[in-house]
Structure 1
Amino acid sequence: MQPSSSRTYHDPLHGAITLEANDPTEALLIGLIDTPPFQRLRRIRQLGIAHLTFHGAEGSRFTHSLGVMEVARRVFDRLIRQYPALKPHRALVLCGALLHDIGHGPLSHTSEDLFGGSHEYWTRRILREHPAIRQRLDDYSPDLAAELEQVYLKQYPLPCMSQLVSSQLDCDRLDYLMRDSYFTGASYGKLDLDRILMAFDYDSVSQQLVVAQKGLAAIEHYLVVRYFMYAQVYNHAKNLAATWGLQRIIERAKQQLTNDNLEADDTMTAWLTQPTTALSLDHYLAADDGVLLYHLQRWRRNADSTLSDLCRRHLDRDLLKALDISELEAEQQQQALKQVQHLLTKRGLSQDYSGIQVALTRGYTLYQRGINVKTEQGLQDISELSPLVQTLSQPFRKAWLIYPRAVEPDLLRSQANRGTLQ
């Protein structure tokens, strides 16, 4: 690559994202993007199984990660102009933003529901162990990899650096709310990014990322958008039903593998038989959406009729139903589940087709220092200044009864007679 050359990514949200190779930090970003672990993110859907609910949700973790880096660059370069002392941390912030999701497994967060583990753990491990990633970081600075781990663990001496990557108001959330809204068609997820970025400020005393008081309304709007995206998109009933079905598939596949009745390659065998933290780096990075879906295609022909049918349902989008039973008492919820299981037994079907799926939305919290507003009286948490944010701080829990469509008429008739469902 010539020193004067550049790399441009045309993004549907941010327009042309151009990295200049004559800038040492941006040359490093180009090199990191070209590594196999980062290119793997092209094969991992940003929204997991949400494309089964919102047909446009086909974006990848690759595009999101580039977007987070671009938002971080806009924020940080603006802060540098006002606070030049921050400039030595530019590479740390931009690499932290770019690489923050490099540890995701197949179908992003869905793989954590299926196999356990944490993508944050794998992000740190990839930074330490993958030769291509580590070599580029070490060539830039022998301390950069360790500093990135500090940022991800919220242990870096300047809190602002971690807050830009992971906090109640960070570059990650700004990009995914905008991107997920765009690709799902959820118009209530639109953000005024320019106004939000103008609200960002730095407090040199506490070394925190803060918000200017004049930007309060823009941040309130951001928190409202986040609330609706979790309620209407991320915790959509069909998404929860699809995830629940995949969990049953993985559980059933593990049983069949134990009985030597399952076709699985070395990668999938490792994922089915080991805790994710025990996987080798090669086995972890070898898994992506394609590998998982390939095995669902194979298991569709498995001799176990329940495993076969659950795979068919996912692949053909013949999803299980999800009925909101949040208003029922815990005992009534269990009664409804027992009724479904009774109906399944009458039809000769496995109880793997029924269950209760719970979704919890925490709302705004003081996680990672909360969102501090710079006022004449000093720093104040946004919830102290905004009645709206106080309302958004209330967590809410929803419970869904999962069952196949075939038993729905009998279930609703039975529950209506008992008066336990609306």
Structure 2
Amino acid sequence: MLPNSSRTYHDPLHGAIALDNSDPTEALLIRLIDTPAFQRLRRIRQLGPASLTFHGAEGSRFTHSLGVMAIARRVFDRIAKRYPQVQPHRPIVLCAALLHDIGHGPFSHTSEEIFGNHHEAWTRRILRESAPVRQLLDSFDPSLVDSLEQVYLKKYPVPFVWQLVSSQLDCDRLDYLMRDSYFTGASYGKLDLDRILMALSYDPVSQQLVVARKGMAAIEHYLIVRYFMYAQVYNHPKNIAATWVLEQAFRRACEQFALGGIEADDTVTAWLTQSKLPGEGSSLSGAPVKLLPLAHYLAADDGVLTYHLQRWQHCADPVLVDLCRRFLDRDLLKALDISSLNVNEQEHLMQQVSIRLAQAGFSATHYAGIRVACSRGYTIYQRGIRLQSAAGLQEISELSPLVKTLIQPVKRAWLIYPSEIESSLSNFYPKLNSA
């Protein structure tokens, strides 16, 4: 790279995201973006298998991470002009925003459901153990890795810093709500980003991220958008069904691999047989296993796992063949809303489904189950959202009746089952509707 060269990323949401190589912090960001660990995020979809439901949901963790950094820089630089005492924290804020998702596994959050890994823990491990990333951070500031870990654990001594990255009103959520709305076509997910960012401020006494009282309406809108995105996009029944099929395919693959029934490359072999972090202790099959090496974690992406699903369509196990085919051809299972049934009725329904599956020649273990999805617009944790008022800092739910209603979680229970038994199921519970 030439000494004075800059870097510009043209983003559909934020326009030109320009990084200036003459700025030491932004020069570091350019080099971090160029590391293999960060470039890997290009190969991981932001919304996992949601493109099977929303065909435009093809965006990657790479584009999202750049967007979070762009928003964080915009907020921080504006506030730092008024409160210059926060300026020394700029490298920490921007690096934390850029790298916050570097630990995501294949299919993003879906791999956490399937394999039990946690991307936050892998992010911290990558910062410490991935040589290209660690060397860049250490050469800039030997204490930077420790500071970033404090941010991700919400232990950084200045709350404002970690709140910009991970809180009820952070740059991560602002970007993913806007980005996911844009790519899924969910028009109710549009945010007035300018108004929200103008409302954000810094309280020098508590050192917190706060919101100006006049900005409450913009924050209320943001929280409503978040609620609808969870209810209508993230917890969409087709997403739940797609995740179920993917999970069952890899669970069956683990069983077959242990029996010698299928083959896998070294990377997927490690994912099927080894735990992801110390203390997790078991593979998909439940057997005690060894720690997954970082190299195998970083070698896995959407393409690697999808390639194996394609290979396993030709194995000898009919269950695995069918599960892989269903996911790849989008021949998904059905999702039936059974939220109106009590627990006993749900269990009884599941028993009837198991009987019907057995009669139709299906394995109830892999082809049916109950999934519960929870949608909530606002949760009071990690200091919540504080508004500036004449009485001092106040929790937003104390001032907004609308936000208070969003605190209540809305749970929906979904029965997952194959369409082959749908007619008999509708006869059993005719008032329930499938999606």
**Higher mean C-alpha displacement, 287-296 vs 363-372:** 363-372
Q: Distance in 2 between matches of 1:35 and 1:141?
A: 18
What amino acid does structure 2 have at the position aligned with 1:366? Answer: I
Counterpart of 1:373?
A: 387
Counterpart of 1:215?
A: 215
Q: Distance in 2 between matches of 1:361 and 1:33?
A: 33
- Distance change (3 Å), C-alpha of 1:204 and 1:264: same
**Higher mean C-alpha displacement, 56-65 vs 294-303:** 294-303
Counterpart of 2:122?
A: 122
State whether residues 151 and 162 of structure 2, in contact with CA within 8 Å, keep that contact through their aligned partners in structure 1.
yes
Counterpart of 2:40?
A: 40
Cα distance, 1:346 vs structure 2: 1.0
State whether residues 363 and 392 of structure 1, in contact with CA within 8 Å, keep that contact through their aligned partners in structure 2.
yes
State whether residues 178 and 189 of structure 2, in contact with CA within 8 Å, keep that contact through their aligned partners in structure 1.
yes
What amino acid does structure 2 have at the position aligned with 1:391? Answer: T
Counterpart of 2:10?
A: 10
SS in 2 for 1:209: strand
Counterpart of 2:178?
A: 178
Cα distance, 1:276 vs structure 2: 1.0
Counterpart of 1:342?
A: 355
Gaps of 5+ in 2: 278-290
Cα distance, 1:421 vs structure 2: 7.5
SS in 2 for 1:201: strand
**Higher mean C-alpha displacement, 187-196 vs 1-10:** 1-10
Cα distance, 1:420 vs structure 2: 7.5
Counterpart of 1:193?
A: 193
What amino acid does structure 2 have at the position aligned with 1:234? Answer: Y
Q: Distance in 2 between matches of 1:5 and 1:46?
A: 29
Counterpart of 2:270?
A: 270
State whether residues 328 and 420 of structure 1, in contact with CA within 8 Å, keep that contact through their aligned partners in structure 2.
no
1:395 aligns with 2:395: no
Q: Distance in 1 between matches of 2:223 and 2:20?
A: 34
Alignment of 1:122-271 (within 5 A): 122-271=122-271
SS in 1 for 2:429: helix
After superposition, the C-alpha distances for 1:280-312 in whole angstroms (9 at most, x for unaligned) are 110100000001100100111121111110100
Cα distance, 1:118 vs structure 2: 0.4
- Distance change (3 Å), C-alpha of 1:373 and 1:344: same
Cα distance, 1:274 vs structure 2: 1.1
Counterpart of 1:93?
A: 93
Q: Distance in 1 between matches of 2:25 and 2:428?
A: 65
Counterpart of 1:113?
A: 113
Tell me the TM-score normalized by structure 2.
0.95
State whether residues 337 and 432 of structure 2, in contact with CA within 8 Å, keep that contact through their aligned partners in structure 1.
no
Size of the alignment, in residue pairs? 420
What amino acid does structure 2 have at the position aligned with 1:382? Answer: I
State whether residues 332 and 420 of structure 1, in contact with CA within 8 Å, keep that contact through their aligned partners in structure 2.
no
SS in 1 for 2:64: helix
What amino acid does structure 2 have at the position aligned with 1:245? Answer: V
Q: Distance in 1 between matches of 2:351 and 2:163?
A: 46
State whether residues 160 and 208 of structure 1, in contact with CA within 8 Å, keep that contact through their aligned partners in structure 2.
yes
- CA RMSD in angstroms, aligned pairs only: 1.1
Counterpart of 1:410?
A: 424
Counterpart of 1:81?
A: 81
After superposition, the C-alpha distances for 1:167-195 in whole angstroms (9 at most, x for unaligned) are 00000000000000000000000000000
Q: 1:385 is matched with which residue: 384, 399, 415?
A: 399
Cα distance, 1:2 vs structure 2: 2.7
Gaps of 5+ in 1: none
- Distance change (3 Å), C-alpha of 1:408 and 1:188: same
State whether residues 8 and 18 of structure 1, in contact with CA within 8 Å, keep that contact through their aligned partners in structure 2.
yes
After superposition, the C-alpha distances for 1:385-410 in whole angstroms (9 at most, x for unaligned) are 00000010001111101111111011
SS in 1 for 2:373: strand
State whether residues 338 and 432 of structure 2, in contact with CA within 8 Å, keep that contact through their aligned partners in structure 1.
no
